[in-house]
Amino acid sequence: MAMSTVEVRSPSVHFSNSERTSIIPSNAAENKTGFGSKPSQGTTTNQVRLPNLWLAEGQNQVTQAQIAEQSLRQVGTELSNIKQQLARAMQLGVADKPSLDNKLSASQKKIKSIIDTAQFDGVRVVDHQLQLNLSGAQTRRFSIPGLNVQRLSEKAEEIKLDFPHGHSVMVNFDGLSSGRDVVDALDRSLIPMGLRASLAKDGTVLFQVSESIYQQMQQKVRVSGQGHRFPAGQANSVKLKPEPEGVLDWQIETHSRESIRRSLVKVNQFIRAAQEGIEHTHETSVKLQQSISQTYLPQTSLSSEELATRLAKVNPKTPSFSTAFQALNAQASVRRHSVVALLKS
């Protein structure tokens, strides 16, 4: 049979006159162009590049997960060291408090360094709650002590919040509007500043901001009121309360036995968070790698007997292209002369 080229366009399977076979995987059947094949007229270059972009994104996420897992293990080690120091102080007492505080401070600085350097493309992959961050954008939530819509709700008061770099906003309690309305109005005023406001169940006003802006605020905001919820006159500096408190916000207390006990409770919480973060990160990494393998790596070739069995299902008198395509898709390394024989009728 004098045939050097067999080309079937409708199902996007292309066989050139070389010995190379190009078949689109079954899970990409909706795409108009296969990997390595030329785009048909009307197919954009972006459409052709999408599979490669998805593959690169998947590989990047695997790398991020691996960096995060290693960093979380290091953080867990430092938290265990802190726990040992606190447990010893709880049992034996604090004979040398400055020395204990220096050791604890050194461990905390190391934890901060580990988290800050656990980056991919300049973005941290572990957040302050010791969880994997694949989204890139990290946000922080905080509250201002005393700013609660249920506190003195019947009292009218205008409260001014002064944020860094000259930004300020007014919170208007008129004694009539609901707490939800007050917070909604505050939220609209904060949007141009890159902040958002929401209402907690207990009436606390919660603020949300990006990690970078939160660091610029240095955990402080200046507040002035009219003598009800906050003092009138000159604005007072108020320390922000993280919601919830993260490992980078934690201040270890050792001034009394009770404070050491509280610190032990807190470090145990962070150790559990680190363990959960490691497990979740490892599972995520495995799933991502499996997904990449199943989607992009070639399938295992069939034996000659298995291929013959599948090809035998094709009736040459009433050829079913879908059946033929299924067989060809399963055997990506089939040679051109086999294809010619299969489609000859």
Residues 150 and 238 in one domain: yes
- Quick check: 178 and 172 in contact, CB under 8 A? no
Query: What pLDDT is recorded for position 213?
Result: 86
Residues 237 and 264 in one domain: no
Determine the Cα–Cα distance for residues 192 and 211; give it in Å rounded to an integer. 17
Q: Given the DSSP bridges, would you call strands 220-224 and 157-162 parallel, antiparallel or unpaired?
A: antiparallel
The answer to whether residue 28 sits within a structural domain is no
Residues 115 and 146 in one domain: no
- Tally the domains of the chain: 3
| Nearest C-alpha neighbor of 251 from the set 269, 265, 263 | 263
- Quick check: 73 and 278 in contact, CB under 8 A? yes
Query: What pLDDT is recorded for position 22?
Result: 36
- Quick check: 21 and 336 in contact, CB under 8 A? yes
The DSSP string of 188-236 is HHHGGGTEEEEE-TTSEEEEEEEHHHHHHHTTEEEEEBSSSSS-BSS-E
Query: What pLDDT is recorded for position 196?
Result: 95
Residues 156 and 218 in one domain: yes
- Quick check: 222 and 235 in contact, CB under 8 A? yes
What are the tens digits of pLDDT across the range 70-116?
999 999 999 999 999 999 998 888 778 889 999 999 999 999 999 99
Query: What pLDDT is recorded for position 122?
Result: 87
Residues 159 and 234 in one domain: yes
CATH code of the domain in which 224 resides? 3.30.70
Give every residue of the chain whose pLDDT is below 50, as ranges.
1-48, 333-334
Contacts with 214 (C-beta within 8 Å, 6 or more apart), sequence order: 140, 142
Query: What pLDDT is recorded for position 164?
Result: 81
The answer to whether residue 153 sits within a structural domain is yes
Q: What is the DSSP letter of 19?
A: S
The answer to whether residue 46 sits within a structural domain is no
Where in the sequence is the domain holding 329, given as residue range(s)? 1-22+302-345
The answer to whether residue 162 sits within a structural domain is yes
Query: What pLDDT is recorded for position 49?
Result: 54
Q: Is the pTM of this model over 0.85?
A: no
